[in-house]
Amino acid sequence: MITARRLGKRFGDRRVLRGVDLDLERGGFLVVTGANGAGKTTLLRICAGLTAPSEGTIERRARRSELGYLGHEPLVYRELTALENLELYGRLYRVPERRERIGMLLERFGLWEARHERVASYSRGMTQRLALCRVLLHDPGLLVLDEPYSALDEAGAELLDAQLAELHGERTLLVATHDPARIDSLATARLGLAA
Amino acid sequence: MTYARDVAALARKDLLLELRARDTLPAMVLFVAAVFVVFHFVLPAAPSRLETTGLLWVAILFTALLGLGRAFVPEREQRTMDGLVLAPCDRSAIWLAKSLATLAFLAAAEVVALPLYALFFHRIGGATVLAVVLADLGICAVGTFLGAMAVVTRARDLLLPLLFLPLALPVVVGAVGSSVASAPGRYLGFLALYDLLFGVVCWASFEYVVAE
């Protein structure tokens, strides 16, 4: 699904990524680890097509409609409600049976009761749950998740565990985390980045 | 049809955000009203039509600039541009929707501004109203495009006027000409040509503004 060779990225004089090779097969689960500043986020942004590499090549065999990306930011509008945000993305991704899919995800991630509240009033954990709903909304074939457990409480983390286990084998996953033990049993490949 | 639905969804989002936050339209209305009130007292007792027409267009241009400067603020502050860029819709839909939303705010501000101008200075003719419509289209198309370019830079507050005002000069020339000429057809045609030309250029090249 993703093949990268000698991938590198510079921001001005600062090199944040150097010589990364990556092979992620369809249905694979690649866990990316590394200390702060090792380039995990940059690598995931390159894999998602949000950032162009300065060196090397990358081939992603997935269209934009097949990609689900979770970054450090939830990519939702704070002045809109959870429902309005998901409606917007549902329309842009042309999700079939949009209302039902949105309702199912909000129920699953425990946000149904708060669906008409503005995201600005959400806690960080609730916002992260909404971001996960957004990522899963169009049932993507390739999921690129940057620190998906960030800000989640134990209940939220268990929900995500169950979701990832469900997706395991059926979808291709690229996950960056500081806590690899949590998803180690699901991983089919591991990539450690040095700072 | 799908493209139109994407544009509608994105424009609806921008209108909803303004409805909730109310930080663009009130500023535009207050600004343009304040300009006319101030100039009503500053200008000589009976200013000529030529003088006040210039004032009208300068006020419209800077009111638009106020709205354009805020057009991509939600995307910048909440970093949501990544989400829009990753969506499988044509990226020019983002520009078109944002242009339409900005056009709606500018038109709403002008609903207040034009009667105020007529009250304080001179009656507004049909050619001027038509020029306002055509000028708004060009201003919003070009300004939104430049706003998207400026928003990713640190000097965005400086960069947008620096880029926008020179490119808006033809609009001012066409608009003032339409308002004061005895045969405004040529100037209105010039404004329509500007809209068409710059609209196509912005539509075709927006992809390169938002993609790294």
Residue B42: which residues within 8 A CB-CB, separation 6 or more?
Answer: none
Distance between CA A74 and CA B103 in Å, rounded?
29
How far, in Å, CA of A57 to CA of A59, rounded? 7
Q: Which residues of A touch B21 (CB under 8 A)?
A: 79
Taking residue B44's Cβ as centre, other Cβ atoms within 10 Å add up to: 7
How much is the average pLDDT of A16-29?
90
Give the minimum alpha-carbon distance from A136 to chain B in angstroms, rounded to a whole number: 13
Chain A contact set for B207 (CB, 8 A): none
User: CA of B157, closest CA in chain A: separation in Å?
Assistant: 22
Taking CA atoms, B58 is separated from A81, A100, B64, B129, B159, in Å, by 38, 50, 10, 15, 19
Distance from C-alpha of A141 to C-alpha of B25, rounded to nearest angstrom: 41
Neighbours of B58 (CB within 10 A): 14
What pLDDT is attached to residue B44? 80
Contact A193, A4 (CB under 8 A): no
As a whole number of angstroms, the distance between CA A180 and CA A187 comes to: 9
Is A51 in the B-facing interface, judged by CB distances under 8 Å? yes
CB contact under 8 A, A77 and B17: yes
CA distance B166 to A110: 52
The mean per-residue pLDDT over the stretch A155-180 comes to 90
Domain ranges of chain B: 2-210
Min Cα separation A51/chain B (Å): 6
For residues B60 and A108, give the distance between their C-alpha atoms in angstroms, rounded to a whole number.
50
Q: What is the pLDDT of residue A38?
A: 86
The CA distance from A53 to A3, in Å, is 13
3-class DSSP state of A97: coil
Are A82 and A111 a contacting pair, CB within 8 Å? yes
Candidates B6, B13, B84: best to mutate against A (most CBs of A within 10 A) is: B13
Measured at the CA of A90, the angle between CA A30 and CA B100, to 5 degrees, comes to 120
Is residue A13 scored above 80 in pLDDT? Answer: yes
Residue with the two structure tokens 């600062």 = A14
Among the partner-chain residues A73, A78, A88, the one whose CB lies closest to the CB of B13 is A88
Please give the helix or strand (H or E) that residue B15 lies within, else none: helix B2-21
pLDDT score at A108 = 94
pLDDT for residue B153 = 85
Q: Is B16 on the interface with A (CB under 8 A)?
A: yes
Residues of chain B whose pLDDT is less than 70? 212
Q: Which residues of B touch A52 (CB under 8 A)?
A: 212
Measured between CB atoms, does A69 come within 8 Å of chain B? yes
Is B161 an interface residue toward A (CB < 8 Å)?
Answer: no
Place of tokens 């009656």: B123
Tell me, what's the pLDDT at A179? 85
Residue A97 gets the label, from left (phi > 0), alpha (psi -120 to 50) or beta, of: left
> For residue A120, which residues of chain B lie inside 8 Å, CB to CB?
none
- State residue A120 phi and psi, 5-degree precision: -60, -25
Task: Please tell me the predicted confidence (pLDDT) of residue B146.
Answer: 95
Residue from the list A51, A73, A91 with its beta carbon closest to the beta carbon of B5: A91
**Residues paired with residue A191 on neighbouring β-strands, in sequence order:** A32
A157-167: pLDDT as tens digits? 999 999 999 99
Closest CA in chain B for residue A138 = B87
- A93 with A65: CB under 8 angstroms? yes
ipTM reported for the complex, 2 dp: 0.90
**Among candidate residues A50, A73, A116, A121, the one with its CA nearest the CA of residue B80:** A73
Q: Cβ B6–A92 below 8 Å, yes or no? A: yes
pLDDT at B156: 83
Q: How many CB atoms lie within 10 A of CB B157?
A: 10
As given in the structure block, the two tokens for residue A11 are 């921001």
Cα-only R_g, chain A: 17
pLDDT at position B152 = 82
Across all residues in chain A, what is the average pLDDT?
92
Chain B residues whose beta carbon lies within 8 Å of the beta carbon of residue A77? 13, 17, 74, 78, 80
**The dihedral formed by the CA atoms of A158, A162, A164 and A168, expressed in degrees to the nearest 10:** 150
Reported as a pLDDT band with limits 50, 70 and 90, residue A128 is very high
The stretch A62-72 carries a mean pLDDT of: 92
B6 and A79 within 8 Å at the Cβ level: the answer is: no
DSSP type of residue B59: H
Tokens of A121: 């009033």
pLDDT in tens, A72-120: 999 999 999 999 999 999 999 999 999 999 999 999 999 999 999 999 9
Question: How far apart (Å, rounded) are the C-alpha atoms in residues B116 and B31?
Answer: 12
Q: How far apart are CA A115 and CA A105, in angstroms?
A: 11
Query: Is A65 in Cβ contact with B83 (below 8 Å)?
Result: no
- The pLDDT, as a whole number, for residue B12 is 96
Q: Provide, as residue numbers in chain A, all residues whose Cβ is less than 8 Å from the Cβ of B88.
A: 63-65, 92-94
Cβ atoms within 10 Å of B12's Cβ, excluding its own = 17
Whether chain A has a CB inside 8 Å of the CB on B1: the answer is no
